[in-house]
Amino acid sequence: MFQARAEPESDTQDSSQHNGILSPNAWIRIHTDGRILLVIARSEMGQGIATGLAMLMAEELEVGLDQIQVEQAPVGSAYTNHLLGEQATGESTSIRDAWQIMREAGAVARQLLIAAAATIWSVPDSRCSARRGRVHLAEDPRNLSYAELAETASRLPLPPAPKLKPSDAWTLIGTPQPRIDSPDKVLGAASFGLDIKLPEMLYASIARCEVIGGRITGWRSEAALEIPGVLDVFAVRYGIAVIAKTSWAALRGRDKLELSLRPSANPAADSNRIRDRLQGALKGRAAVARKDGDVSTALNGSHAQIEAVYEVPFQAHACMEPMNCTADVTTERCDIYVPTQAQGRTQATAERITGLPKDRIAVHTTFLGGGFERRREQDFVVDAVELSQLLKRPVQVVWTRADDLQHDFFRPMSLHRLRGGIDAEGRLTAWFHRVAGPSVLARIAPDEIRDGIDPCMMAGAADLPYRVPHQRIEYRRADTQVPIGLWPGGGYDHNSFAAECFIDELAHLADRDPLQLRRNHLADRPRHLALLNEAAREADWDKPPASGRGRGLALAEAFGSLIVAIAEVSVENADIHVHRILCAVDCGQAINPQSVRAQIESGVAFGLTAALKGKITLTKGRVDQRCLSDYTPLKAHEMPEVSVHLVASDAEPGGVGGLAIPVMAPAVANALFALTKQRIRTLPIRLS
Amino acid sequence: MISVTLNGEPLELDLDPDTPLLWVLRDHLGLTGTKYGCGEGQCGACIVQLDGEPVNACQTPLSAAANHSVKTIEGLSPDGRHPLQLAWIVEEVAQCGYCQSGQLMTADALLAKYPRPTDAQIDAAMSEVLCRCGSYNRIRRAIHRTANPESQNG
């Protein structure tokens, strides 16, 4: 069912005619033998996107999901994600980008098939209708399968404009559909990056310099070379590569390397020093991301005001499948087999290294054993392409778990200073939020930084959903040597923790129920209000929680969607138990409600890991966490009961991949305050 | 030569007895359903059954499997119709899917020991296998569904 494509871009150009195959666009191919092939241009990393995109196409094409095969797209301009500006998967954009495009692709093919049937029967198109892969003639038993119509349809001109079905005619969109990748995944047959095996392939493990900013100045390889199966050891761009006949030999050989390092000339990256630096950035000048009214005057004139500082640590992505890439570079062409979220950049990376033209560089996207934005990066691609080019053999580069944790592009550490004021009626009058932290986009997309504002760092702060008359939102960039990158949830993740906890602090100051205070400042926002009310109703917010339990709330507006989470917690001997997470979600039109629920559950686990457990620290330039017992994701017995309440909506679909993550830490922290009166302002959450 | 029964078939392997079972399966036998997640016995992605007991294949040298029986995900059923696999599909357990072989092999061993496991027994067994996608509640439901087919409605 699921396969990677072999051909590079050259064959993906739109063409409606070849060999009788109906291929009206880059996504749909209907063969005369009955095969209906849908091309999936986004990476399947667990979010169910293959099923979601197939549903959008199949809805308009009038085929069942049981009648199609899907294929991963090669690199091609047709496959650009317009919200990211490149062929890539991430930032909860896939469905929003595809919503119109995929349905139109299906509609065009359907219209051609209907026109073909009408031509064959010499009747007007209006007398023909499509259903489950066949075109039927009205009030007439005649019908033809898509296979029978493909050749005729392939010779017809494309319709001037795709006609989309009205929403009341949908049979797939909005209905729970089983994932198309489940059968392979329960068989262990789904092919991930590390499962690729090419003839003559060699394996490589690369020892990188453990000290950030440092260099490997020498190495001894004798012991490594004694390991049976180890073929060679030499320096490459990112470290010392051990080349072997098997994965195991490569990993063993690499363990036997003796490296000498030269530390960075700069002061070592160190958590305490970085915290001092960020604390300094909480004062002094900063760039202003948003200014409504006059915060200083409003604070001075407020009935009561408070200030608080929040701290969010570096976080690792810790995908279950360690980073890896397989490349096969010859003088003629380059094939890359890789679990990637960024096909466009992968091709560009290989183009830069090999000098081959783009049409000879094929990117074969495997299943991804987790992505979490880590697989937008190119470091593992560079490893494999350079080594294969050098060795003139296919090479698979295998990262160890320690490599993966130590050489991540971490979620940045950030500090947040907030000030807020209320009036005598308990209404928020002033809101100040300064974000201090390194810039994520400085490396990835420096052009997007305007007037000193990194929009990625400010998401969820500059667009605070609450109406507060006087607001000032600031960013003070404070770069560190620690490599940082995108993380699911993006800026919403750190900013929602600070803002959603601080609004609880203000509710406490105003002696108002945290839910009511939020409602008061969303009075003109019906979607937000409806969702808050839904969550409150489902959680019985008006009744006190069970004895010994605390309940906390958080709201986020992100990726075109809204979420309200309510956490229920208890504490036993300073151990925090999260018993229940209730999420009310308004993501506009849900394509596959089943996938939306699964994604919210997934975000709960990912967000709770970050809230309760995950933290990357550095000592003298080294990342302290080396293995999964140092950085442990949430385990089965720690998973709370999760209930997801989807609000019916016909608004444009929003993203859900990263939606639940930002509300976990604040919902749990607010619940702990309700229970213990301890304010949590630092992640991961620890009770004193 | 080391004799192993693998997924019911006798096998003679001429390999270094120190080679972890994980790499015997993946590098030498092409059985890639068993996954490499950490190599340190901490994630459970590589769990297989040794004489019915769940073990981390990355921590089990081939020598430990000599004259014993090993079952991998490929041996769970010939056609994906093992009750756990069917329940997994109904409950839509798998997301990225990378840990799922380890989850299924652990669940299968659990059910062999406790045909009707309690939540606590499920938690104790399944906490050995990490899932970054948070499929845990669905795993629990799928195990209950398998254990109590008569109490399920579909």
Average pLDDT, chain A: 96
Task: Note the pLDDT of residue A267.
Answer: 81
Task: Note the pLDDT of residue A9.
Answer: 40
Q: Tell me if B132 and A319 make a contact (CB, 8 A cut-off).
A: yes
Q: Tell me if B96 and A246 make a contact (CB, 8 A cut-off).
A: no
Q: Tell me if B134 and A192 make a contact (CB, 8 A cut-off).
A: no
Which residues of chain A does B72 touch, with a Cβ-Cβ cutoff of 8 Å? 188
The residues pairing with A342 across neighbouring beta strands, listed in sequence order, are A88
The two structure tokens encoding residue A352: 């830069």
CA–CA distance, A257 with A250 (Å, rounded to integer): 11
CB neighbour list of residue A19: distance below 8 Å, 6 or more residues apart: none
What pLDDT band is residue A4 in, cutting at 50, 70 and 90? very low
Q: Tell me if A628 and B139 make a contact (CB, 8 A cut-off).
A: no
CB neighbour list of residue A386: distance below 8 Å, 6 or more residues apart: A236, A237, A353
CA–CA distance, A658 with A371 (Å, rounded to integer): 12
Q: What is the pLDDT of residues B34-53, one digit of tens each?
A: 999 999 999 999 999 999 99
Which residues of chain A does B20 touch, with a Cβ-Cβ cutoff of 8 Å? 248
Residue A675: is its pLDDT beyond 90?
A: yes
CA–CA distance, A54 with A61 (Å, rounded to integer): 10
Residue A13: is its pLDDT beyond 70?
A: no
Nearest CB partner across the interface for B39, out of A45, A251, A319: A251
For the domain covering B2-75, report its CATH number.
3.10.20.30
Give the side-chain half-sphere CA count within 13 A for A308.
22
What pLDDT band is residue B136 in, cutting at 50, 70 and 90? very high
Select from A667, A640, A669 the least CA-distant residue to A577. Answer: A640
Task: Note the pLDDT of residue A417.
Answer: 98
In angstroms, how far is CA A208 from the centroid of its own chain?
A: 26
Residue B27: is its pLDDT beyond 60?
A: yes
CA–CA distance, A460 with A546 (Å, rounded to integer): 32
Which residues of chain B does A189 touch, with a Cβ-Cβ cutoff of 8 Å? 33
Nearest CB partner across the interface for B132, out of A194, A606, A629: A606
> Looking at the domain B83-148, which fold is it?
DNA polymerase; domain 1 (1.10.150)
DSSP B22-33: HHIIIIIS--TT
Give start and end residues of each alpha helix (H) in A454-489: 455-458
pTM for this one?
A: 0.96
- Contact call for residues A470 and A292 (beta carbons, < 8 A): yes
Under DSSP, the state recorded for A569 is: E
Q: Tell me if A602 and B80 make a contact (CB, 8 A cut-off).
A: no
DSSP A51-99: HHHHHHHHHHHT--GGG-EEEE--S-GGG-BTTTTBSB--TT-HHHHHH
Task: Note the pLDDT of residue A1.
Answer: 45
The two structure tokens encoding residue A173: 């969109």
Which helix (H) or strand (E) segment holds residue A362: the answer is strand A361-365
What pLDDT band is residue A10 in, cutting at 50, 70 and 90? very low
Q: Tell me if B19 and A248 make a contact (CB, 8 A cut-off).
A: yes
Helix axes A146-154, A94-121, angle to 10 degrees: 90
Which residues of chain A does B140 touch, with a Cβ-Cβ cutoff of 8 Å? 636
- Contact call for residues B144 and B83 (beta carbons, < 8 A): no
CATH fold match for the domains A193-264+323-398 and A271-315+410-676: yes
CA–CA distance, A309 with A236 (Å, rounded to integer): 43
Backbone angles phi, psi at A76, to 5 degrees: -170, 150
Q: What is the pLDDT of residues A101-138, one digit of tens each?
A: 999 999 999 999 999 999 999 999 999 999 999 999 99
Nearest CB partner across the interface for A633, out of B36, B100, B132: B132
Residue A16: is its pLDDT beyond 60?
A: no
CA–CA distance, A105 with A79 (Å, rounded to integer): 12
Cis peptide before A684 (omega within 30 of 0): yes
Size of interface A-B (CB pairs under 8 A): 178
Q: Tell me if A186 and B139 make a contact (CB, 8 A cut-off).
A: no
* Mean pLDDT of the A425-430 span: 97
Domain extents in chain A? 2-187, 193-264+323-398, 271-315+410-676
Task: Note the pLDDT of residue B152.
Answer: 59
The CATH number corresponding to A2-187 among 3.30.365.10, 3.40.50.1100, 3.30.1330.10, 2.60.40.420 equals 3.30.365.10
CA–CA distance, A648 with A522 (Å, rounded to integer): 20
Q: What is the pLDDT of residues A53-103, one digit of tens each?
A: 999 999 999 999 999 999 999 999 999 999 999 999 999 999 999 999 999
Residue A684: is its pLDDT beyond 50?
A: yes
Residue A3: is its pLDDT beyond 70?
A: no
Q: How far is A368 from chain B (nearest CA, A)?
A: 6
Domain extents in chain B? 2-75, 83-148
**Strand A36-40, strand A28-30: pairing:** antiparallel
Residue A593: is its pLDDT beyond 80?
A: yes
In angstroms, how far is CA B60 from the centroid of its own chain?
A: 14
Q: Tell me if B104 and A186 make a contact (CB, 8 A cut-off).
A: yes
Which residues of chain A does B107 touch, with a Cβ-Cβ cutoff of 8 Å? none
Which residues of chain B does A372 touch, with a Cβ-Cβ cutoff of 8 Å? 132
DSSP A180-213: TTHHHHHHT---BGGG---TT-EEEEEEPPSSTT
Which residues of chain B does A321 touch, with a Cβ-Cβ cutoff of 8 Å? 35, 37, 96, 98
For the domain covering A193-264+323-398, report its CATH number.
3.30.365.10
Q: Tell me if A642 and B104 make a contact (CB, 8 A cut-off).
A: no
Select from A265, A219, A281, A257 the least CA-distant residue to A621. Answer: A265
Q: Tell me if B132 and A401 make a contact (CB, 8 A cut-off).
A: no
Task: Note the pLDDT of residue A274.
Answer: 97
Task: Note the pLDDT of residue A19.
Answer: 77
Q: What is the pLDDT of residues A522-579, one digit of tens each?
A: 999 999 999 999 999 999 999 999 999 999 999 999 999 999 999 999 999 989 999 9
Nearest CB partner across the interface for B89, out of A182, A251, A635: A182
What pLDDT band is residue A2 in, cutting at 50, 70 and 90? low
- The 3-state DSSP class for residue B145 equals helix
The two structure tokens encoding residue A597: 């629920």
Give the side-chain half-sphere CA count within 13 A for B90.
18
The two structure tokens encoding residue A569: 């917690």
Q: Tell me if A182 and B136 make a contact (CB, 8 A cut-off).
A: no
Q: Tell me if A370 and B39 make a contact (CB, 8 A cut-off).
A: no
Q: Tell me if A188 and B100 make a contact (CB, 8 A cut-off).
A: yes
Q: What is the pLDDT of residues A336-392, one digit of tens each?
A: 999 999 999 999 999 999 999 999 999 999 999 999 999 999 999 999 999 999 999
Average pLDDT, chain B: 96
Q: What whole-number percentage of chain A has pLDDT above 70?
A: 97
Q: Which residue of B has its CA nearest to A43?
A: B96
Which residues of chain A does B46 touch, with a Cβ-Cβ cutoff of 8 Å? none
Nearest CB partner across the interface for A601, out of B20, B129, B137: B137
Q: Tell me if B98 and A369 make a contact (CB, 8 A cut-off).
A: yes
DSSP A233-256: EEEETTEEEEEESSHHHHHHHHHT
* Mean pLDDT of the A195-222 span: 96
Q: How far is B37 from chain A (nearest CA, A)?
A: 6
CA–CA distance, A575 with A578 (Å, rounded to integer): 10
Q: How far is B122 from chain A (nearest CA, A)?
A: 9
* Mean pLDDT of the B19-35 span: 98
CA–CA distance, B93 with B89 (Å, rounded to integer): 7
What pLDDT band is residue A8 in, cutting at 50, 70 and 90? very low
Residue A163: is its pLDDT beyond 90?
A: yes
Q: Tell me if A633 and B19 make a contact (CB, 8 A cut-off).
A: no
**Strand A69-72, strand A2-4: pairing:** parallel
Q: What is the pLDDT of residues A463-503, one digit of tens each?
A: 999 999 999 999 999 999 999 999 999 999 999 999 999 99
Which residues of chain B does A228 touch, with a Cβ-Cβ cutoff of 8 Å? 16
Is the domain spanning A271-315+410-676 CATH 3.30.70.1170? The answer is no
The residues pairing with A20 across neighbouring beta strands, listed in sequence order, are none
Residue with tokens 């009770």: A687
* Mean pLDDT of the A172-176 span: 98
- The 3-state DSSP class for residue A311 equals strand
Residue A198: is its pLDDT beyond 60?
A: yes
Q: Which residue of A has its CA nearest to B38?
A: A401
Nearest CB partner across the interface for B132, out of A251, A318, A594: A318
